[in-house]
Amino acid sequence: MEEIQAITEGKIIAKRWKVVEKLGEGGMGAVFKVRDLTRFQTYAAMKVEGDVSDGGVLKLEAYLLKALAPLPFCARLMDAGDRKTYCFMVMTLLGKDLMAHKREANIPKLCDQTTLRLAMATLFAIKQSHLRFQIHEVGYTHRDIKPGNCVTGIHGSDAKNVYLIDYGMVRSFTAKRDNGQLALRKARSGEQLFRGTPRYCSMNVHNRKEQGRVDDLWSWLYMLIELHCGLPWRRLTDEKEIMQAKSTCPMEVLLKGCPQEFTNIHKYLESLEYKTRPDYFGLWSECFSGFKRVRGSFFGRFEWELGKAGGEEMLTALSISEKRGPNDYKCATNMQMAKKIWPYADSAHFKKKILNL
Separation between Cα atoms, residue 90 and residue 93, nearest integer Å: 9
Instruction: Name beta bridge partners: 172.
Output: 140
144 is catalytic: yes
How many CB atoms are closer than 10 A to CB 100?
Answer: 15
Contact 31, 47 (CB under 8 A): yes
* DSSP annotation of 278: P
Separation between Cα atoms, residue 196 and residue 356, nearest integer Å: 26
Contact 108, 139 (CB under 8 A): no
- Catalytic position from the list 79, 97, 112, 144: 144
How many residues are listed for the chain in this entry? Answer: 357
Contact 259, 115 (CB under 8 A): yes
Instruction: Name beta bridge partners: 19.
Output: 34
Helix, strand or coil for residue 62?
helix
Separation between Cα atoms, residue 52 and residue 282, nearest integer Å: 43
Contact 220, 268 (CB under 8 A): no
Residue set of the binding site: 47
Residue set of the binding site for ATP: 47
Alpha helices in the chain (DSSP H): 2-5, 57-68, 98-105, 112-127, 203-206, 213-228, 239-248, 251-254, 261-270, 280-293, 317-321, 334-341, 348-351
Q: How far is CA 189 from CA 183, 210, 272, 313, in A?
A: 18, 7, 18, 50
**Catalytic positions:** 144
